[in-house]
Amino acid sequence: MKEHQEGRAIFKANLSGKDKGPGKAKGVFYNPAMEMSRDLHVAFAKELEIEGIVLDGLAASGIRGIRLILEAGLNVEFCDTSTLATNTIAENLKLNGIESTIYNKPVEELLQEKKYDCIDIDPFGTPAPFLEAALKGLNDNGILGVSATDTAVLCGAKPSICMKRYGANSMKKVAAKEIGIRIMLSKMHSMASEIGKGIQPLLCYSEGHHLRVFVKLTKKNNVELKWINTDMEIVEEEEYGAGGPLWVDKIIEKELVPSNYEGKLGKFFETLSEEANGPPGLYDINDIARIAEIGQTPQRNKIVKCLKELGHFASSSIFSPLGIKTTASKIERTKAIKLAQSL
């Protein structure tokens, strides 16, 4: 097993993936392509000032939890079903001069015995089988972080599996990933309702091959799940091509988005912050150009600038390089893109 370094941690694990997709290591899983996800997790954890005990529920080498201990000062426990993984976590804790509790059992079982203030679920593929146990295993106001790499299912490529797994219609095209996030949230909201609780999304995003949500467990709320049609309108009932039922409220709390970061992470947080208060859904800049019957599509930032000058909410989005989030009508979007042509 090779030794690696990420953030302030040194640790042993088997490398998996080729810096991109999830891949599957024989042995103890470590995917360097998820480094940004862990960087972001550390930054966000600092912002939230989490107190109490955190569970790295599907820990593999323990790198996520170890970084949260070293870089955000959290109190993290670890769980994995693989004995090789839990033995390696023990070694990795020693390598970093820290001590903690490690459980070698299914996380669903652990969460029936013990509750946590913060739980992280980072599985291979879909998180669906873990959601109920994770929501039930949270203390009131606890925070749940969940990764999903079943993006094909959540983002329109496998609609029948999405319906079976998440109980919702996915969507293709530019808004697919944002809709995927909203579908995950709708599933979590419904499950939380069943145990007399609610959820409040704190920070949700897509990056590379994965989707990720952080939600707070709240008192039961009256949030209604709705649909988003192909014109990005929120509709109360299912209609042809619409995604849903899904979470149509906010998915990013602007004031919780970390600031003062530089480089790739800084740019990412900046975009998240810009789009936080926008409406659900995205418009494809090439579709706006086609409808406006103009030749080449202007740069996205120029279209955003013109939409803002026309008095509308407008932002780019981390969910798609071609997506624009805006409150502008079709006529106004057409007007803006024509103005952007001459910039």
Ligand X SMILES: C[S@@+](CC[C@H](N)C(=O)[O-])C[C@H]1O[C@@H](n2cnc3c(N)ncnc32)[C@H](O)[C@@H]1O
Shortest approach of ligand X to residue 291 CB, angstroms?
Answer: 42
DSSP letter string, 231-287 = TS-EESS--TT-EEEE--S-S--GGGS--S--HHHHHHHHHHHHHTTSPSS-EEHHH
In the chain, which ranges are continuous DSSP H helix?
35-48, 63-72, 83-95, 107-113, 128-136, 151-154, 159-166, 176-194, 263-275, 285-292, 300-309, 330-341
The reply to whether 64 sits near ligand X by the rule CB under 6 A is yes
The reply to whether 34 sits near ligand X by the rule CB under 6 A is yes
Per CB under 6 A, which region of 77-85, 176-184, 272-280, 312-320 contacts ligand X? 77-85
The reply to whether 79 sits near ligand X by the rule CB under 6 A is yes
Given phi > 0 = left and psi -120 to 50 = alpha, else beta, which region is 226?
beta
The reply to whether 60 sits near ligand X by the rule CB under 6 A is yes
CB 283, CB 232: distance < 8 Å = yes
Question: How many chain residues are in contact with ligand X, going by CB under 6 A?
Answer: 20
Answer for which of 11, 29, 268, 283 binds ligand X (CB under 6 A) is 29
CB 130, CB 109: distance < 8 Å = no
C-beta closer to ligand X: residue 64 or 189: 64
Answer for which of 9, 33, 54, 58 binds ligand X (CB under 6 A) is 58
Shortest approach of ligand X to residue 35 CB, angstroms?
Answer: 9
Shortest approach of ligand X to residue 226 CB, angstroms?
Answer: 32
**Per-residue binder mask for ligand X (CB under 6 A), 230-269, x = binder:** ----------------------------------------
Answer for which of 40, 54, 55, 59 binds ligand X (CB under 6 A) is 59
In terms of C-beta density within 10 A (0-12 exposed, 13-18 middle, 19 or more buried), how is residue 319 classed? buried
The reply to whether 40 sits near ligand X by the rule CB under 6 A is no
**Per-residue binder mask for ligand X (CB under 6 A), 170-209, x = binder:** ----------------------------------------
Going across the sheet that includes 283-284, the strands are 283-284, 323-326, 314-315
Shortest approach of ligand X to residue 50 CB, angstroms?
Answer: 17
- Nearest CA to 239 among 251, 229, 254, 249? 229
Shortest approach of ligand X to residue 6 CB, angstroms?
Answer: 9
Answer for which of 21, 52, 75, 81 binds ligand X (CB under 6 A) is 81
Please, which contacts does 165-170 make with residues 24 or more away whose CB atoms are closer than 8 Å?
A: 165/126, 165/128, 166/128, 167/245, 168/243, 168/244, 168/245, 168/246, 169/227, 169/238, 169/242, 169/243, 169/244, 170/243
The reply to whether 334 sits near ligand X by the rule CB under 6 A is no
The reply to whether 76 sits near ligand X by the rule CB under 6 A is no
The reply to whether 66 sits near ligand X by the rule CB under 6 A is no
Residues that bind ligand X (CB under 6 A): 29-30, 34, 58-61, 63-64, 79-82, 85, 106-108, 122-124
